[in-house]
Structure 1
Amino acid sequence: MIRFAPLLASFSNYLRRVRGLEPKTREGVLLGGRRFLDGSAITIPAKTSRRAEHVLAAIEHRLSLSATSATRTASISHIRTFLRFLCWAGHDEQDLARVFPRTPHWRLAHLPPRLAWDDVRRAIDAIVNRRAKLTP
């Protein structure tokens, strides 16, 4: 990781001066960039031959390590910020942040682990009542 120290210092400076991030937020984004570099150093070749498929493979690996949709969303956001920085600073000729989709994250999308029978019964009754009102 020492070989990336100057790049990460420049990234930290970018996050502070250009993006205006607060120290705690900057730490998280910087950690995301560091983890991306650490996990993709072997996968992603030098700037001249770096391509979208290399970045996608590295991101897929990073996502496989994330347990929840919230951590996956944060990881992708941090990597995207780092890739934008690489383009902005002239380390990359193309903005590779644009090649991968955002991860969907829906805040209340999960069902509770168990539903009480009364709740299930009320839901069924509501559907039946709704259908009865709609049927002429």
Structure 2
Amino acid sequence: MTDILSETRAARAALLAEFENYLVKQRGLSPRTIYHTLRFANRFLDHRFGEATMNLPDLRPADVIGFIEHVLTTARRDKTVATHVRIFLQYLFARGLTATNLAPSLPTPSSCRL
């Protein structure tokens, strides 16, 4: 049986592939960091949109904070969640996919502990 991606899944796959390319070529991150950053980006999109069409301009700081709280309450404490999500949010803003830069809505590691 051949799996055919839905339009929504294809759009998400394309976004994440472009994001991965950015992480490799522009940021020069290690393969391990790229893996984790992509994983959290995908989880964030899943948490916010599920199987629905991604409407990235609709993202709000409350969506970001809600995801971070969800991850921290459902999994072991991972101090890098905010960092990985911040990279993704900065990418979305730089590409013009969000109207505002949502990255500042996350606490920085030096200002507070999650």
Which category describes the TM-score, using the shorter chain as reference length?
0.7 to 0.9
In the alignment, is residue 31 of structure 1 matched against residue 39 of structure 2? Answer: yes
The question of 1:16 aligning with 2:24 is answered yes
Number of residues paired by the alignment? 101
Of structures 1 and 2, the one scoring higher in RCO (CA 8 A, sep 6+) is 2
Q: Is the 2:82–2:107 contact (alpha carbons within 8 Å) kept by the matching residues of 1?
A: no
Structure whose alpha-carbon radius of gyration is higher: 1
**Cα offsets for 1:39-84 (capped at 9, x unmatched):** 2224xx723332212222222212222312xx1x211111111111
Q: Identity of counterpart residues, as a percentage? A: 33
Give the whole-Å Cα distance in 2 for the aligned partners of 1:104 and 1:57: 16
Structure 2 residues without counterparts, runs of 5 or longer: 1-7
> What's 1:104 paired with?
113
Partner residue in 2 for 1:64: 73
Retained in 1: the 8 A contact 2:56–2:97? yes
Separation in structure 1 between the aligned mates of residue 32 and residue 107 of structure 2, nearest angstrom: 26
TM-score calculated relative to the size of structure 2: 0.75
Distance 1:47 1:35 in 2: 14
The 1:49–1:31 alpha-carbon spacing in structure 2 relative to 1, beyond 3 Å, is: closer
1:13-37: per-residue Cα shift (whole Å, max 9, x none)?
1101111112222112111111111
The root-mean-square deviation of aligned C-alpha atoms, in Å, is 2.2
Report the TM-score when normalising by structure 1.
0.64
Unaligned runs of 5+ in 1: 106-136
Task: Determine if contact 1:36/1:62 at 8 Å carries over to the other structure.
Answer: no
> Structure 1: which 4+ aligned runs deviate by more than 4 Å?
none
